[in-house]
Amino acid sequence: MTDLRTQLENKEVFATELTDIWKSFDGGNSFVIKGLDLKIPKGSLTAIIGFSGTGKSVILKHILGLHRPTKGSIKVLDHELGKMTDQELVVFRRKFGVLFQSAALFDDMTVLENVCFPLIEHTPLKQEKIIEVAQEKLMQVGLAAAHFNKLPSEISGGMQKRTGLARALALDPEIIFYDEPTTGLDPILTEMVDDLIVETHKSRPGTTSIMISHDLAAAFKIADFVAMLDAGQVLLSGPPEVFFNTDIDLVKRFVNKGMKLQ
């Protein structure tokens, strides 16, 4: 935590810097994001939290370059996304790994083929090596070899998440994104996924992990940097303890209610 604080104080490298972001989906009549500023420290495990409809997923899509802001600047790994063409963005996104809420596995491919896919697309490795790397990634996330040749529809939700994470890790990304990774999972599976995120983060020093979540207990337990959004702006950001000592009423209510529910 101290390292992170020092980083923040010394204005060291940030994985992403969002400056004065505005986003409208209806030609400027209404704004979903209103002048948002957010800096995510490199190497941190960051949780972006907030009520439903506050713009968490929209922000994630902006950082991924899937949405372009109406106004404002987005820097990811020191690259200004707004200056990139669509084609340059396609190439740049290879630095990312994303675990989607639904795992987003390709349903016509087996578990192993899903993990092989990004390796086939982006590496010059031979087939045997690709399979070896994919198997290694699947084992890293704790998936047994017996499931490698099954289709996504033939495995459980937890296994699908593990497969999705293995696929996200396949190209050794510099930033790993988790979009609501525990939504719809039972408490045991939720804990398993949380542990998996922490283990993955710890096993990859220097890698930045960004998690979108409404699971407050998990966010405060596993993240070392938290940002809370409200009405398209960052209400509060910093290490988790900042959220317990704040005077902002909305944050206090959100944290108390969330922690009670957990």
Partner 1 sequence: MIQSVFKFIQNKLIQTVEALGEVILFSGKGLQGFFAKPFRGLELVRQFEFVGNQSFFIIALTGLFTGLALAFQVYMGFKVVNATNLIGPVVALGISRELGPVLTGLIIAARAGGAMAARIGTMRVNEQIDALDVMGIDTYNYLIGPRIIASIISTPLLTALFDFFAMAGAWILVVQIVGLDSAIFWDRIDQIVQVKYIFEGLFKAAIFGFVFSVICTYRGYHTKGGAQGVGEATNKGVVSSMVTIIVLDYFLMNLIRMYYHLIGVSS
Binding site for partner 1 (CB under 8 A): 64, 66, 87, 90-94, 96, 98, 100-102, 104-107, 117-118, 121-122, 177
- Shortest distance, position 103 Cβ to partner 1, whole Å: 8
Name the residue nearer to partner 1 (CB basis): 23 or 167: 167
- Shortest distance, position 113 Cβ to partner 1, whole Å: 13
CA distances from 55 to 21, 131, 211, 212, 259 (A): 11, 38, 14, 10, 22
- Shortest distance, position 57 Cβ to partner 1, whole Å: 11
- Shortest distance, position 249 Cβ to partner 1, whole Å: 35
Name the residue nearer to partner 1 (CB basis): 177 or 220: 177
Name the residue nearer to partner 1 (CB basis): 55 or 65: 65
- Shortest distance, position 123 Cβ to partner 1, whole Å: 12
Helices marked H in 72-186 — which ranges? 86-92, 111-122, 127-140, 157-169
Name the residue nearer to partner 1 (CB basis): 95 or 252: 95
Name the residue nearer to partner 1 (CB basis): 98 or 212: 98
| Separation CA 71–CA 38 (nearest Å) | 15
- Shortest distance, position 164 Cβ to partner 1, whole Å: 8
Name the residue nearer to partner 1 (CB basis): 180 or 215: 180
Name the residue nearer to partner 1 (CB basis): 94 or 257: 94
Which residue in this structure is represented by tokens 């020092």?
6
Torsion of CA 179, 183, 188, 191, to 10 degrees: 30
Contacts of 129 (CB under 8 A, 6+ apart): none
Contacts of 261 (CB under 8 A, 6+ apart): 216
| Separation CA 136–CA 163 (nearest Å) | 12
Type and span of the H or E element at 9: helix 2-9
- Shortest distance, position 61 Cβ to partner 1, whole Å: 8
CB 204 within 8 Å of CB 184: no
> Nearest CA to 62 among 80, 74, 77?
74
